[in-house]
């Protein structure tokens, strides 16, 4: 019986020693091993043997990318508006020994550093700028935190602002401003549409007027061309008629008296026209001169007779 109990105790001691000696490190984790209270080594993933009661695991450090949700913080902007900012930090441990021995609590250190940095950055901005400059705030936070946490064996991959909450009265004022801006843009777009419509309508009327004027011009040109062609044909017909008459007269062998008489008849017809000026053919000038001489002779005869009558009466 005593031998059985001793065997059980021995097996228990062996299992305890094995448990203290053999350590299995998981993937993406490392063990910080201390020997007699002093840093000894970093155990990577896999099987690790340590000396029981001399070596012990100081800490288990995850090498995965980790997230830290920073509690919402009240921050005063440059224009004295208190807003609440909710932030999340993505970080990764690059040196497990520094993360354990260089700072008491890595998460607390990152949290406090993020809070003070946010207040410093946002405190230099106006309210409107904080809403429009999220990316710039994120980049500045990441750079500052990454530089500060490098001595702790930590790398800050990203910093994201999840939400920026202004006070209720400021939020109502901003909503009213946004509604006013939307209404303004709607009115501007409506006015621009009406303006464009008026321009298009005016251009259409202008094009129609131009086309109408061109059509009227073309019609007048065609009408004038037709009238000119008609006048030309009439003139050609008259010329042909004159030529026929002239040929007939030449065949009849007219004397000078007949030619002069016909010229006077033609001159009479011309004088009865609507023209203010007439052109007298050279052949008619002789006849007109003869008529003038005859008229003067008749006048002289009348005067002579009248003189004779007066002498007799005396």
What DSSP state is assigned to residue 66? E
User: Within 10 A of 8 (CB to CB), how many other CB atoms are there?
Assistant: 10
Provide the token pair at 192: 């621009």
**Residues 108 and 41 occupy one common structural domain:** no
Q: Which residues pair with 178 in a beta bridge?
A: none
Q: Which of 121, 139, 166 is the last residue of a domain?
A: 166
- Confirm if 81 and 63 have CB atoms less than 8 A apart: no
pLDDT at 312 over 60: no
In-domain check, residue 51: yes
Q: Band of the pLDDT at 289, cuts 50, 70, 90?
A: low
Average pLDDT score, the chain: 78
**Residues 53 and 141 occupy one common structural domain:** no
**Residues 49 and 91 occupy one common structural domain:** no
Least confident of 114-118, 151-155, 180-184: 180-184
DSSP state letters, 67-135: EEEEEEEEEE-TTS-EEEEEEEEEEEES-HHHHHHS-S-HHHHHHHHHHHHHHHHHTTS-HHHHHH-HH
Q: Which of 166, 191, 217 is the last residue of a domain?
A: 166
Average pLDDT rounded to a whole number, residues 116-145: 88
In-domain check, residue 180: no
Residue 27: domain span: 18-62
**Residues 92 and 140 occupy one common structural domain:** yes
Q: Band of the pLDDT at 143, cuts 50, 70, 90?
A: very high
Span 160-208, pLDDT tens digits: 988 888 878 777 777 777 778 888 888 888 888 888 888 888 888 888 8
Span 49-85, pLDDT tens digits: 888 888 888 889 999 999 999 888 888 888 888 888 9
In-domain check, residue 161: yes
CATH code (residue 75): 3.30.479.30
Average pLDDT rounded to a whole number, residues 251-266: 59
Counted residue by residue, the chain has a size of: 314
Could you tell me where the beta strands, DSSP code E, fall in the chain? 22-25, 29-35, 38-43, 46-49, 55-62, 66-76, 82-93, 154-165
**Residues 52 and 118 occupy one common structural domain:** no
**pLDDT reported for residue 22:** 82
pLDDT at 298 over 80: no
What's the total number of domains in the chain?
A: 3
**Residues 31 and 116 occupy one common structural domain:** no
**pLDDT reported for residue 27:** 87
In-domain check, residue 179: no
Q: What angle do the packed helices 106-122 and 134-149 form, to 10 degrees?
A: 140
Q: Which residues pair with 48 in a beta bridge?
A: 23
In-domain check, residue 80: yes
In-domain check, residue 248: no
**pLDDT reported for residue 93:** 92
In-domain check, residue 244: no
Q: Rounded to an integer, what distance in angstroms lies between the CA atom of residue 130 and that of residue 198? A: 42
Span 223-250, pLDDT tens digits: 888 888 888 887 777 777 777 666 766 6
What radius of gyration, in Å, describes the C-alpha atoms of the chain?
63
In the chain, % of residues over pLDDT 90: 14
Provide the token pair at 136: 């710039």
In-domain check, residue 135: yes
266: exposed, middle or buried (Cβ count in 10 Å: 0-12, 13-18, 19+): middle
**Residues 153 and 86 occupy one common structural domain:** yes
Question: 63 by DSSP, 3-state: which?
Answer: coil
**Residues 121 and 70 occupy one common structural domain:** yes
pLDDT at 99 over 80: yes
Provide the token pair at 261: 């008489």
**Residues 45 and 90 occupy one common structural domain:** no
Q: Band of the pLDDT at 310, cuts 50, 70, 90?
A: very low
**Residues 83 and 125 occupy one common structural domain:** yes
pLDDT at 133 over 50: yes
How many secondary structure helices (H) and strands (E) does the chain include? 8, 8
Residue 21 CA to its chain's centroid (Å): 73
Q: Which of 34, 62, 90 is the last residue of a domain?
A: 62
**Residues 53 and 82 occupy one common structural domain:** no
**Residues 74 and 86 occupy one common structural domain:** yes
Least confident of 18-32, 152-166, 225-239, 245-259: 245-259
């Amino acid at each position: 019986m005593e031998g059985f109990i001793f065997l059980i105790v021995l097996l228990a001691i062996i299992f305890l020693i094995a448990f203290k000696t053999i350590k299995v490190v998981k993937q993406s984790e490392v063990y910080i091993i201390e020997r007699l209270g002093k840093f000894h080594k970093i155990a990577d993933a896999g099987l690790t043997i340590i000396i029981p009661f001399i070596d012990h695991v100081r800490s288990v450090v995850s090498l995965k990318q980790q997230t830290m949700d920073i509690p919402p913080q009240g921050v005063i902007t440059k224009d004295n508006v208190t807003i609440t900012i909710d932030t999340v930090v993505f970080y990764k441990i690059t040196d497990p020994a520094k993360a354990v021995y260089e700072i008491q609590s890595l998460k607390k250190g990152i949290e406090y550093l993020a809070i003070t940095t946010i207040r410093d950055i946002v405190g230099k901005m106006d309210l409107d700028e904080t809403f429009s400059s999220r990316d710039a705030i994120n980049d500045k936070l990441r750079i500052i935190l990454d530089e500060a946490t490098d001595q702790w064996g930590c790398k800050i991959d990203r910093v994201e602002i999840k939400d920026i909450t202004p006070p209720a009265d400021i939020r109502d004022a901003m909503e009213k401003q946004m509604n006013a801006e939307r209404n303004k843009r709607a009115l501007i777009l409506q006015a621009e549409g009406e303006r464009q419509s008026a321009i298009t309508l005016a251009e259409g009327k202008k094009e129609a007027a131009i086309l109408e004027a061109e059509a009227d011009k073309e019609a007048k040109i065609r009408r004038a061309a037709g009238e000119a062609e008609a006048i030309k044909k009439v003139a050609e017909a008259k010329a042909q008629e004159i030529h026929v008459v002239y040929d007939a007269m030449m065949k009849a062998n007219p004397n000078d008296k007949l030619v002069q008489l016909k010229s006077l008849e033609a001159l009479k017809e011309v004088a009865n026209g609507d023209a203010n000026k007439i052109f007298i053919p050279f052949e008619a000038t002789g006849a007109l001169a003869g008529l003038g001489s005859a008229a003067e002779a008749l006048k002289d005869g009348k005067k002579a007779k009248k003189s004779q009558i007066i002498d007799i009466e005396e």
